[in-house]
Amino acid sequence: MNFDPRFCDETFRAQVFINKMNIACDAFAEATITRMIKTGSGGPENMDITDQGLRFVRYLMCNRPANNWSTLPNFKDEHSVREMARRFISHWGSPISAVEAMYKIIG
């Protein structure tokens, strides 16, 4: 059996780099979508509401699953906003496609 440690080391480094890039893309997508939700709702900091952000928040509200209690998400809670962003990303399957869909929605 021919074992070349240099090849194994390079393959391992490439895999570590790819894993770090996936984590960075996830964090970037979540931060971008969270920021857009905040600009559409005012967010915890009571920011100015923009038309694009409001369009995105209305899209999120219209596409939420219905429930019996008609509760609205608390956009003044940072955890609630992040959870809504994570649900949006999981709905679209990948962080990159979620950000792409967000930009199409706010278009």
Instruction: Let me know: does 73 contact 84? Beta carbons within 8 Å.
Output: yes
pLDDT score at 82: 92
Sequence-separated (6 or more) residues with CB below 8 Å from residue 47: 38, 39
Domain boundaries, the chain: 29-106
Number of helices and strands in the chain (H, E): 4, 0
Q: What is the pLDDT along the chain (107 residues), one digit of tens a residue?
A: 455 555 556 666 666 666 777 778 888 999 999 999 999 888 877 778 889 999 999 998 888 776 556 677 888 888 989 999 999 999 999 898 999 999 999 98
pTM for the whole structure: 0.77
